[in-house]
A and B are shown apart, each in its own frame.
Chain A
Amino acid sequence: MFGMPDEIWVPIRLTIELATITTLSLLVVATPLAWWLARSKAWFKEAAATLVSLPMVLPPTVLGFYLLIVLGPDGPGGAIASLWGGRTLAFTFTGLVIGSIISSLPFVVQPIRNAFAAVGDRPLEVAATLRTSPSRAFWTVALPLASPGLLTGAVLGFAHTVGEFGVILMIGGNIPGRTRVMSTAIFDFAETMRWREANLLAGGMVVFAFAVILSMILLEKRFTRAGA
């Protein structure tokens, strides 16, 4: 595609697939989690929030190491894989999705939680006086009001997954078309002195990262102006 050799194009396609699936899964997982973190009064709430934030501070090698064991034949990953005749979730696209969800989770939960917190009690109380059920209030009041936070979370989750390297290096196995994503392909090209290919992918990453951050800033500006 676009006259690019498969070696370049396949990792790009795979990275986009991985980031898209991870982001969609993250929105499903992170939205209720963020809602709970924003609204709950449970005493262990902040401990749970800390747990969610851990991947932000831990080196990817720590995640990669534990994932290799948890996804492996002796862990729950092996049990899941055996459902379709596999032995391990390491070296699989599914394994990469699981790893990426865990490592990008804080980047999605945090902005959504902040957005829910910013909505506050008032709109929900008003909805309640109008006899709106809590679940209906969530879908029709809280979620639309928090949508800028969801958008920020989705963009950050997508971008962070595209930039994921350490975890994938440790659990991926570098399989073309399945686990060889852009970041690990760049590593490979650089290690084997294929500068042209490394340059092509790395340059593309720089442009992509620039576009993501710029659009985030512009979006935020627009929302604050709309809110003001």
Chain B
Amino acid sequence: MKLTVLAAALVGFLTSLAAPVRADVTHVAVAANFTEPAREIAALFKQKTGHEAVLIFGASGAFFTQITHSAPFEVFLSADEDRPKAAVEQGFAVPDSRFTYAIGKLVLWSRVVDVTNGEAALKAGNFLKLSIANPVAAPYGTAAVETMKALGVWDALQPKIVQGNSIAQAFQFIDTRNAELGFVALAQLHGVTAGTQWEVPSNLHAPIRQDAVLLKTGANSEASKAFLAFLKGPEARAIIEQFGYSLP
């Protein structure tokens, strides 16, 4: 008697292990700046389609390295267009699946000094540490460096720069006030009322075109294709705009 109960429980357990394979799941590597909108989009996506999108957050550059080393992602939402392009060229992504899902905005943010006039604040340089994302691995970091160069303050500010390994860590350095100010993505400040901010004029850096791409690993995955289609759709676009991105 006891044995049959045990056997039934075991069968039940094994079936539950097998279940996620049947339900469609896609693994999406998401650039850190897009964390919050991606969460909302994934929740809505699950509600509408029943598919589950598992989100992994990090720096685009780090993801690209991982993708070239067979990381188990099916979709890549980069913070730039170069890496998705390279993923296609090097045979890691499905050609023609690449599209721009958002155009990012760079913001100077501080919880210590007044950066309402960001250009003046940067030129005055009355601070000890300025936080940016690692410019080699994170596109928002690259845009931050371009901005400082365009304003002619790069040489003066370089010794004050601290780097987060993604835009999320750059944000955290400013949020804990270890760095007085720094460059983050506008989307990260969604719902944040603390401190002052300055939206960087878009002519100071190359546009942050954020591209999505279907990876080869997801070429036959229904959930992955559905997620990218959903990302192009009106509901996702509304969320993306609400977080302060522009759309192509």
Whether a CB of chain A sits under 8 angstroms from the CB of B137 is: yes
Residue pair B136, A91 in contact (C-beta under 8 Å): no
How far apart sit A74 and B112, CA to CA, in the bound complex (Å)?
Answer: 12
Known contacts A91-B178, A174-B162, A175-B161: A192-B129 contact under CB 8 Å:
no
Considering the complex, which residues of chain A in the window 56-93 have a beta carbon less than 8 Å from any beta carbon of chain B? 68-69, 71-74, 86-88, 90-91
Known contacts A188-B136, A191-B137: A173-B176 contact under CB 8 Å:
no
- Least CB distance, A217 to chain B, in whole angstroms: 34
- Which of these, B61, B68, B176, contacts A192 with CB under 8 Å? B61
Q: Interface extent on B, as a size class?
A: 20 to 34
- Least CB distance, A87 to chain B, in whole angstroms: 6
Point out the residues of chain A lying under 8 angstroms from B178, CB to CB. 68, 71-73, 87-88, 90-91
Considering the complex, which residues of chain A in the window 180-212 have a beta carbon less than 8 Å from any beta carbon of chain B? 187-188, 190-193
- Least CB distance, B141 to chain A, in whole angstroms: 11
Residue pair B162, A91 in contact (C-beta under 8 Å): yes
- Least CB distance, B159 to chain A, in whole angstroms: 9
Choose among A87, A91, A191 the residue with the greatest number of B CB atoms under 10 Å from its CB: A191
Residue pair B65, A174 in contact (C-beta under 8 Å): no
Considering the complex, which residues of chain B in the window 166-198 have a beta carbon less than 8 Å from any beta carbon of chain A? 172-173, 176-180
Whether a CB of chain A sits under 8 angstroms from the CB of B165 is: yes
Q: Mark B140-169, 1 if CB is under 8 A from A, else 0.
A: 000000000000000000000111110000
Known contacts A173-B162, A175-B162: A191-B59 contact under CB 8 Å:
yes
Count residues of chain A with CB under 8 A from any CB of chain B. 21
Whether a CB of chain B sits under 8 angstroms from the CB of A150 is: no
Choose among B137, B161, B162 the residue with the greatest number of A CB atoms under 10 Å from its CB: B162
- Which of these, A68, A71, A90, A191, contacts B165 with CB under 8 Å? A191
Whether a CB of chain A sits under 8 angstroms from the CB of B128 is: yes
- Which of these, B68, B134, B172, B176, contacts A188 with CB under 8 Å? B134
How far apart sit A173 and B176, CA to CA, in the bound complex (Å)?
Answer: 13
- Which of these, A68, A173, A190, contacts B65 with CB under 8 Å? A190
Known contacts A91-B178, A191-B59, A191-B61: A173-B137 contact under CB 8 Å:
no
Point out the residues of chain A lying under 8 angstroms from B62, CB to CB. 191
How far apart sit A174 and B135, CA to CA, in the bound complex (Å)?
Answer: 11
How far apart sit A173 and B165, CA to CA, in the bound complex (Å)?
Answer: 8
Point out the residues of chain B lying under 8 angstroms from A27, CB to CB. none
Residue pair B163, A175 in contact (C-beta under 8 Å): yes
Residue pair A173, B163 in contact (C-beta under 8 Å): yes
How far apart sit A73 and B179, CA to CA, in the bound complex (Å)?
Answer: 9
Residue pair A87, B180 in contact (C-beta under 8 Å): yes
How far apart sit A68 and B172, CA to CA, in the bound complex (Å)?
Answer: 10
Whether a CB of chain A sits under 8 angstroms from the CB of B78 is: no
How far apart sit A175 and B64, CA to CA, in the bound complex (Å)?
Answer: 23
Known contacts A173-B162, A174-B165: A192-B177 contact under CB 8 Å:
no
Please give me the residue from chain A that is nearest to B137 by CB atom.
A191
Point out the residues of chain A lying under 8 angstroms from B61, CB to CB. 191-192
Residue pair A88, B129 in contact (C-beta under 8 Å): yes
Considering the complex, which residues of chain B in the window 97-112 have a beta carbon less than 8 Å from any beta carbon of chain A? 112
Residue pair A192, B65 in contact (C-beta under 8 Å): yes
Residue pair B129, A87 in contact (C-beta under 8 Å): yes
Point out the residues of chain B lying under 8 angstroms from A12, CB to CB. none
How far apart sit A193 and B86, CA to CA, in the bound complex (Å)?
Answer: 13
- Least CB distance, A223 to chain B, in whole angstroms: 42
Point out the residues of chain B lying under 8 angstroms from A188, CB to CB. 134, 136-137, 165
Residue pair B163, A192 in contact (C-beta under 8 Å): no
Point out the residues of chain B lying under 8 angstroms from A174, CB to CB. 134, 162-165
Please give me the residue from chain B that is nearest to A192 by CB atom.
B136
- Least CB distance, B228 to chain A, in whole angstroms: 25
- Least CB distance, B197 to chain A, in whole angstroms: 19
- Which of these, A69, A72, A86, contacts B128 with CB under 8 Å? A86
Residue pair A68, B136 in contact (C-beta under 8 Å): no
Residue pair B177, A73 in contact (C-beta under 8 Å): yes
How far apart sit A69 and B128, CA to CA, in the bound complex (Å)?
Answer: 17
Whether a CB of chain A sits under 8 angstroms from the CB of B131 is: yes
Whether a CB of chain B sits under 8 angstroms from the CB of A169 is: yes
How far apart sit A69 and B175, CA to CA, in the bound complex (Å)?
Answer: 11
Beyond A173-B179, A175-B161, A193-B68, list 6 extra A-B contacts (CB 8 Å). Answer: A86-B128, A91-B129, A173-B129, A175-B163, A191-B61, A191-B134
